[in-house]
Amino acid sequence: MHTPSLTEAEALLRIQKLTEEIDEHRRLYHTLDAPVISDEAYDSLFEELVSLEKMFPALRSTESPTRSIGAKPLESFEKVKHLHRQWSFDDIFDFKGLEVWDKKVRNFLEKTLRSGASDVQNFSIEYICELKIDGLKAVLTYEKGKLVRGATRGDGEIGENVTENIRTIRTVPLTLKEPIDITVVGEIWLSKNELKRINEKRTENDEPLFANPRNAAAGSLRQLDSQVIADRRLDSFTYDIDALTEEKIFPETQEKELQCLLRLGFHVNPAFRVCKTLKEIEAYYEEWNKKRESLPYALDGIVIKVNEKKWQDALGYKGKSPRFGIAYKFPAEQATTVVEDVQVQIGRTGALTPVAHLRPVRIAGSVVSRATLHNFDEIQRLGVRIGDTVIIQKAGDIIPEIVSVIENLRTGAEKNIAIPTHCPICNSKVERMLIGNASRQNAPSSDARLQKLSSALYCTNKNCFAVEKEKIIHAVSKKGLNIIGLGGKIVEVLIEEGLIKNVADIFSLTVGDLSPLERFGEKSAEKLVRAIENAKRVPLGKFLFALGIRHVGEETADLMIKKIDGKIQRPFDIQNLFASKTKEEWMGIDGIGEKSAESLVEWFADTSHQELLSMFQSAGITLDMGEEQNETKQTFTDMTFVLTGELSSFTRDELKAIIKKRGGIVSSSVSGKTNYVIAGENPGGKYENAKKLGIKILDETALNQLLAE
């Protein structure tokens, strides 16, 4: 999550709230094995706390969750002290993080060798990659090859005795192939198909469903009746030797350790791979990220370890994690962030959709800044407010949505979301209609049926969506902001999905907002975001055209610019300069008629248009007044041209640009004030009018001579 600017007092309050919330989720996860949020959402909260503590190191308390692992075991369960502390790996989320970790490993080893703390001389590093199964950790102890104890991780030092339950798992050997004393560490997991079967059975019995395989595995392992566990068909993978009989030689590498576990009869995931370069690690990561949906178990990343045991020993541990390993997480499908505002969008059917504008957060590999709230019934169901910390979810190629609110992080400054009575675009009244399986029909808010059926608000003006869509298409066209790749169909999708309400909203779109949409992939989303970024510096005339002021086209925009006294750099400079002008003052500009003047006065008096200019300014739009014209001879200053017919040497737009650059004005109609009519092949009525008025008419040959002067 992008951490906002906070005062020290605000940061302290946020840190305290986060600490309390994280501690509670640690207790639920590690002690009760009954998490209520996903690992990804928990990681997101933890990341925010780490970030705040880095910004305000003096506020990091000795009780901070960032200093410890797990949670204390429940008193009513038998406690088991682990022979060795059970660590957890730090997380990375991208290739850059992998590079940083690799550099730390190499620097630490070099420093260790120079100091003589290790008896190892020259070194080269290779890594081993393993799949990170989303289950729960178990520590298994064998004496003379017989299983004597199975325990949960607990707080890393003390866990809980779940031996009888572990014995029901078919892939956990009760007797090893060698009569040795050994303690191993593995992952208990439940298959996706088994989760489906269990939930179907729980539905029949009217029992609450398990949210995911990890929750089901954890809930099963804590059952007092071992027969229930046996019926649920838990599975396991063993991946580490924690302790070994003294007379046995400990494997020299992690690869040999896995092979040893396999020989002893443990269930070992076969997908491990030794990698000599970071590129090989990244290829392994990408391969399994693509394959993970096809696997029978849930996968949330890969684990990377230094392969050689001697280097693992030299690297050792820090704080709460080993230096020799790292967890490289797959793009999270859930994350936490803050609702900064809620805007209401209008869809093609007239439905009003509330869209949460979020503090930008990375989810599923992309930064997103918006999430749908579907309708106002959903807002009431979630109880979401502006300022709330929320869990958002993005599964596959869909627009992110808000899953739940973390109410414990509220400060009291949050604001309720008002339900609109009028359309935010056309100001028409809205009416409530039933949605879902019910036929769409008028349904007063007092109707009891709304207690069972979801409903949505609809604008009563059937032209509302079309009008706003056309405004935005007009604004982004070549004559306006010239955003390449943003055509009418895409504009329609953006409005329909609730991503934009007006043209200024376009400038805050991210790749993560766009990539889930139909017609988009990652590359096309990146391309459009670049085009949007390039459009942030726009010629003033094009910007005025893009505003869509009635009766103000290219010509009137050019006339307005000609009479500007001073410099305009930011959008709100326009408001400051033009808002006070009267109708008479506008009509005093040669070429601006009564209709245009009236429209200009009305537009700049409208507070919604002032808000639009402010939004443009906040988005970082800068205006170019065409200072480069000073370097071009102003041979057409105060001269008016009219173009008609088909030109072969220039396109219309190219010729208009040339005339404007030389200080001239291009008009759409012939009048007594016209200086030249440029006539190509098949000229129309403008040609005849010019002849009647005695206006000088130039063909392309004469035009080129004029341009050469």
Last residue of a domain, one of 481, 499, 534: 534
Last residue of a domain, one of 296, 329, 362: 329
What are the helix (H) ranges across 441-570? 464-476, 488-496, 511-514, 522-534, 540-546, 554-562
Q: Do 62 and 105 fall into the same domain?
A: no
Looking from the CA of 414 toward its CB, the CA atoms found within 13 Å total: 21
- The answer to whether 559 and 590 are in contact (CB under 8 A) is yes
Measured CA to CA, the distance from residue 700 to residue 646 in angstroms comes to: 10
Strand, helix or coil for residue 304: strand
Select the more confidently predicted residue: 450 or 423.
423
Taking only the tens place, the pLDDT of each residue in 321-347 is 999 999 999 887 788 999 999 988 877
Average pLDDT for 215-230: 73
pLDDT above 50 (res 437): no
- The answer to whether 556 and 592 are in contact (CB under 8 A) is yes
Report yes or no on 75 lying in a domain.
no
Residue 317 β-bridge partners: 322
The pLDDT of residue 704 is 78
Report yes or no on 76 lying in a domain.
no
The pLDDT of residue 628 is 42
What single string gives the DSSP state of each residue in 525-560? HHHHHHHHHHTTEEEHHHHHHHTT-TT--HHHHHHH
118 burial type by CB count under 10 A (0-12 exposed, 13-18 middle, 19+ buried): middle
Quick one: tokens of 249? 């030689």
Q: Do 366 and 466 fall into the same domain?
A: yes
Q: What CATH number corresponds to the domain at position 556?
A: 1.10.150.20
Query: Which residues, other chains included, contact 452 with Cβ-Cβ below 8 Å and sequence gap of 6+?
Result: none
Q: Do 193 and 314 fall into the same domain?
A: yes
Q: Do 137 and 18 fall into the same domain?
A: no
The pLDDT of residue 76 is 60
Measured CA to CA, the distance from residue 556 to residue 596 in angstroms comes to: 8
The phi, psi pair for 202, rounded to 5°, reads: -70, -30
Quick one: tokens of 31? 């002690």
Measured CA to CA, the distance from residue 185 to residue 84 in angstroms comes to: 11
Residue of 125, 15, 129, 30 lying closest to 63 (CA atoms): 15
The pLDDT of residue 450 is 35
Q: Are strands 622-624 and 537-539 parallel, antiparallel or unpaired?
A: parallel
Report yes or no on 131 lying in a domain.
yes
Report yes or no on 137 lying in a domain.
yes
Query: Which residues, other chains included, contact 116 with Cβ-Cβ below 8 Å and sequence gap of 6+?
Result: none
Calculate what percentage of the chain has a pLDDT beyond 90. Answer: 31
Q: What CATH number corresponds to the domain at position 58?
A: 1.10.287.610
Q: Do 339 and 409 fall into the same domain?
A: yes
Select the more confidently predicted residue: 442 or 2.
2
CA-to-CA dists, residue 124 to 106, 257, 308, 590, 593, angstroms: 9, 19, 10, 79, 80
Measured CA to CA, the distance from residue 165 to residue 605 in angstroms comes to: 74
Strand, helix or coil for residue 269: coil
CA dihedral for 471, 473, 478, 483, sign (positive or negative):
positive
Report yes or no on 77 lying in a domain.
no
Catalytic, out of 72, 96, 103, 132? 132
The phi, psi pair for 338, rounded to 5°, reads: -120, 135
pLDDT above 70 (res 436): no
Range of the structural domain that residue 571 is part of: 538-624
Average pLDDT for 124-147: 93
The pLDDT of residue 441 is 35
pLDDT above 80 (res 136): yes
Taking only the tens place, the pLDDT of each residue in 271-321 is 999 999 999 999 999 999 989 889 999 898 999 999 999 999 999 998 779
Residue of 409, 411, 429 lying closest to 421 (CA atoms): 429
Report yes or no on 2 lying in a domain.
no
Q: Which of 54-58, 274-278, 507-511, 561-565 has the highest mean pLDDT?
A: 274-278
Q: Do 274 and 338 fall into the same domain?
A: no
Dihedral, CA atoms, 207, 210, 216, 220, nearest 10 degrees? -20
pLDDT above 60 (res 73): no
Residue bearing tokens 């599964």 = 395
Q: Do 467 and 560 fall into the same domain?
A: no
pLDDT above 80 (res 228): no
Q: Do 196 and 323 fall into the same domain?
A: yes
Q: Which of 240-249, 428-437, 519-528 has the lowest mean pLDDT?
A: 428-437
The pLDDT of residue 309 is 94
pLDDT above 80 (res 208): no
Measured CA to CA, the distance from residue 657 to residue 646 in angstroms comes to: 17
Q: Do 356 and 311 fall into the same domain?
A: no
DSSP 109: H
Measured CA to CA, the distance from residue 342 to residue 355 in angstroms comes to: 6
pLDDT above 60 (res 582): yes
Report yes or no on 74 lying in a domain.
no
Q: Do 568 and 582 fall into the same domain?
A: yes
The pLDDT of residue 275 is 97
Strand, helix or coil for residue 204: helix
Average pLDDT for 145-152: 92
Last residue of a domain, one of 312, 329, 346: 329
Measured CA to CA, the distance from residue 309 to residue 334 in angstroms comes to: 35
The phi, psi pair for 366, rounded to 5°, reads: -135, 155
What's the chain's average pLDDT?
Answer: 84
Select the more confidently predicted residue: 124 or 529.
529
Dihedral, CA atoms, 553, 556, 561, 562, nearest 10 degrees? 150
Amino acid letter, 486: L
Report yes or no on 514 lying in a domain.
yes
250 burial type by CB count under 10 A (0-12 exposed, 13-18 middle, 19+ buried): middle
Number of domains in the chain: 5
What single string gives the DSSP state of each residue in 52-106? HHHH-GGG--TT-GGG--S-PPPTTSPEEE-SS------EE-SHHHHHHHHHHHH
Phi/psi region, residue 396 (left: phi>0; alpha: psi -120 to 50; beta: rest), is left
CA-to-CA dists, residue 644 to 647, 687, 688, angstroms: 8, 7, 11
The pLDDT of residue 397 is 53
Query: Which residues, other chains included, contact 672 with Cβ-Cβ below 8 Å and sequence gap of 6+?
Result: 693
The pLDDT of residue 569 is 83
pLDDT above 60 (res 616): yes
Clarify whether 132 is annotated catalytic: yes
Average pLDDT for 579-594: 86
pLDDT above 90 (res 36): no
Taking only the tens place, the pLDDT of each residue in 652-694 is 777 887 887 787 888 878 888 888 999 888 787 888 888 888 8
Q: Do 648 and 571 fall into the same domain?
A: no
Average pLDDT for 392-405: 78
The phi, psi pair for 604, rounded to 5°, reads: -75, -15
Q: Do 116 and 254 fall into the same domain?
A: yes
